[in-house]
Amino acid sequence: MKNLLVTLLVVMICISIANAQSRFDDVVIKTNKVTENIYMLEGSGGNIGVFVGDDGVFMIDDQYAPLSEKIKAAIAELSDKPVKYLVNTHWHGDHAGGNENFGKDGATIIAHENVRKRLSTDQHSKAFNRTTPAAPSVAWPVITFAEDMNLHINGQQVMLIHVHYAHTDGDTFVWFPDSNVLHMGDCFFKDRFPYIDLGSGGSVSGALRAIEAAMMLTDADTQIIPGHGTMAAKSDLLSYYQMLSTMYDRVKKEMVAGKSVDEIKSAGLTDDYAEWGTGFINEERIIDIIWTDIDSQSSK
Ligand SMILES: [Zn+2]
């Protein structure tokens, strides 16, 4: 009996390993040209930005570790130079999961100081009841900043701009003023409800202020790389802002009227935004996020 159980356990572990591998085996890295030397790579996880030139490759986010070889192959199609700098827009594994692999290759990892804090310690998510163990030290950012930072590379200025308590407490926009391109990380989920990581210091009001900051930087010609979704324009960002601010106001109004979270969920507040809830965050979850955020603010 004991042997049978052990065999069963081994088989189950093998199946789960096989499943984990196959999830990434089928992923194809798709390269989208943004400008002559800036690209957006799509695979599984957050959108990657790649800026190539004589000085080397400047990279924004790196998705999941099992995809690193495929991502390197896609970058090699764009440049024969190594990845010199890698910026993390925030600490989440679908954006920074490849840090260890790129760090081992010699990339200098740069991020907001709270990204280093979170990558270097175990992180528990109450929302998902999941603990993410600390990453190995080679995956930690070696250059950190508190507010803003400029890089001068490949003949252009690259501005790293921290936005406060938005998707997390360590979000960075990467702004290319000379190319009019902005990577917003997960402060922008195009055409879908966002995940806002309240447990990592994110907040809905901060997320709204981050979008306002992005709207100040951009114009009708700006090409915006969202954390998730296809290449975007300022008009898409505006729709996203209207959705999030409308949802925030609606939930708040119901809370002030004394409704419970379940009553709010059944009130049909998201009906006109139903198509925004087909992704990772559905209609119930966006209400949960906004409700929890307002509830924690008011109990402070
Ligand atoms: Zn994220």
Q: What domains does the chain contain, in order, with CATH numbers? A: 25-252 (3.60.15.10)
Per-residue confidence (pLDDT) for residue 50, from 0 to 100: 98
Closest CA to 214 of 156, 168, 175: 175
pLDDT level of residue 91 (50, 70, 90 thresholds): very high
Render 221-242 in DSSP notation, one character per residue. T-EEE-SBSS-B-HHHHHHHHH
**Any residues with CB less than 8 A from the CB of 8 and at least 6 apart, and which?**
none
What's the pLDDT tens digit per position in 228-257?
999 999 999 999 999 999 999 999 999 999
CA of 95 to the centre of ligand 1 (A): 7
Kindly report the pTM of this predicted structure. 0.92
Distance 292 CA to ligand 1 centre (A): 18
Residue 18 has pLDDT above 60, yes or no: no
Distance from Cα 34 to the centre of ligand 1, integer Å? 22
Strand order from edge to edge, sheet including 30-33 = 30-33, 38-42, 48-51, 57-60, 83-87, 108-112, 143-145
Whether the predicted pLDDT of 17 surpasses 70: no
Q: How confident is the model at residue 21 (pLDDT cuts 50, 70, 90)?
A: low
Share of the chain above pLDDT 90, in %: 86
Distance 111 CA to ligand 1 centre (A): 14
Q: What's the gap in Å between 37 CA and the centre of ligand 1?
A: 26
Whether residue 66 has pLDDT greater than 90:
yes
**In which band, very low, low, confident or very high, does the pLDDT at 280 lie, cut at 50, 70 and 90?**
confident
Statement: residue 204 has pLDDT above 70: yes
- Measure 16 CA to ligand 1 centroid, in angstroms: 25
> Which pLDDT belongs to residue 12?
58
Q: What is the pLDDT of residue 52?
A: 98
Q: How far is the CA of 48 from the centre of ligand 1 (A)?
A: 13
Q: Is residue 16 predicted with pLDDT exceeding 60?
A: no
**Centroid of ligand 1 to alpha carbon of 183 (angstroms):** 13
pLDDT at 20: 55
Q: Which two tokens stand for residue 284?
A: 């119930």
Measured in Å, residue 46 CA sits from the centre of ligand 1 at: 8
d(CA 228, ligand 1 centre) in Å? 9
Encode pLDDT of 33-60 as tens digits: 999 999 999 999 999 999 999 999 999 9
Band the pLDDT of 61: cuts 50, 70, 90.
very high
Say whether pLDDT at 11 is over 70. no
Q: How far is the CA of 112 from the centre of ligand 1 (A)?
A: 14
Neighbours of ion ligand 1 (CB under 5 A): 92, 186
For the purposes of burial, counting CB atoms within 10 Å of the CB of 122, is it exposed (0-12), middle (13-18) or buried (19 or more)? exposed
